[in-house]
Amino acid sequence: MTETYQKPALTFNDQLEHLKKRGLIINDHSHALLQLSTISYYRLSAYWYPFRLKDGNGDVTSKFVEGTSFDDVIGLYEFDRHLRLLVIDAIERVEVYLRTLITYHLGHSYGAFGHTDPNNFHPQFRHTEWLSKLEDEVKRSNDAFISHYKNKYSGFPTLPIWMLTEVMSLGSLSFCYQGLKHNDKKVISGKLNLHHKRLADWLHKLTYIRNVCAHHSRLWNRELAIRPENSSLPEWKPPITPRNDRVFYILLMLRYLLRTTNNGDSWCKQCNALIEPIAVHDKWRLAMGMPENWKEHPIWK
């Protein structure tokens, strides 16, 4: 049975006092107030939730585990923020590389405007819908290269494929790849040493993760609503099998994809530096879907 929401809005001071009553240690009152006033109580509540005490039945109470401080909460919040930045950096590199692969292959296979012909795509691809949405984006764009094209050439908003991919979102790019003919998919996925179905699946999942990061949503212990299909490749199997519903699987995907962009090792080192202090705590490590020997995973090491 539902009930009417009746919690009142609290001042920042009242919010802090409320947290103290629940057992949260406040080492620096002024700093805690600043954090509440710049991040917000409700946003931070997702990061103090793992610190809340459970009762004898395993149900989460409003009280905090003894010894938990506001600094612990902020530390977890900052960890998640930096994790999102690393993930979005990797996705950007993958996205730009994929744009290049698709542009190069389609341009050389079908010409500058071959993407406007539905016969160059899979028969079931919603080509008209896809192209119409992209051309709407082109019309709204203020990019200088689009203005130049519009003023110099006929046919606007139809652009050459190497210009069009520059205004594609990752979602549009993913949708485009899924709509290609199988042989075209295979050529592109072969550059990444992936089966074409695996690449299509990964791009769909990375679009979801990118949106999570772009909206500054919690990532570190998120149970993924859209999960990658488990791979049958041997390096994804025992003895170190990652869960496909947590962020570590996404990190492995990105590590795999970045190997082809010459940025993989540097990015991996940054991830290690960020994750290692957190991963020593089993509770946090497991919440990310990471096995105890995560650094020995054949994809990661």
51 touches 72 (CB < 8 A): yes
Tell me, what's the pLDDT at 239?
A: 61
Tell me, what's the pLDDT at 261?
A: 80
Residue 180 pairs in a beta bridge with 121
The count of other CB atoms within 10 Å of the CB of residue 89 is 16
Closest to 98 measured CA to CA, from 16, 173, 4? 173
Tell me, what's the pLDDT at 236?
A: 65
Tell me, what's the pLDDT at 157?
A: 93
Cα separation of 170 and 257, whole Å?
15
48 touches 60 (CB < 8 A): no
Cα separation of 178 and 126, whole Å?
10
Query: Distances from the Cα of 97 to the Cαs of 18, 91, 266, in angstroms?
Result: 49, 10, 17
Tell me, what's the pLDDT at 238?
A: 57
Tell me, what's the pLDDT at 241?
A: 67
pLDDT (tens, 9 = 90+) of the chain, 301 residues, equals 789 999 999 999 999 999 999 999 999 999 999 999 999 999 999 999 999 999 999 999 999 999 999 999 999 999 999 999 999 999 999 999 999 999 999 999 999 999 999 999 999 999 999 999 999 989 999 999 999 999 999 999 999 999 999 999 999 999 999 999 999 999 999 999 999 999 999 999 999 999 999 999 999 999 999 888 776 666 666 566 678 899 999 999 999 999 888 778 999 999 999 999 999 999 999 999 999 999 999 899 8
Buried b (16+ CB within 10 A) or exposed e, 160-185: bbebbbbbbebbbbbbbbbbbeeebb
3-state secondary structure of 18: helix
Tell me, what's the pLDDT at 260?
A: 83
Cα separation of 180 and 186, whole Å?
10
54: buried, middle or exposed (CB in 10 Å: 19+, 13-18, 0-12)? Answer: exposed
The count of other CB atoms within 10 Å of the CB of residue 85 is 13
Tokens of 271: 């991830």
- Beta pairing class for 52-54 and 60-64: antiparallel
107: buried, middle or exposed (CB in 10 Å: 19+, 13-18, 0-12)? Answer: middle
Tell me, what's the pLDDT at 234?
A: 66
Cα separation of 173 and 171, whole Å?
5
Half-sphere exposure of 28 (CA within 13 A, CB side): 9
In degrees, rounded to 5, the angle at the alpha carbon of residue 129 between the alpha carbons of residues 131 and 152 is 25
Half-sphere exposure of 280 (CA within 13 A, CB side): 4
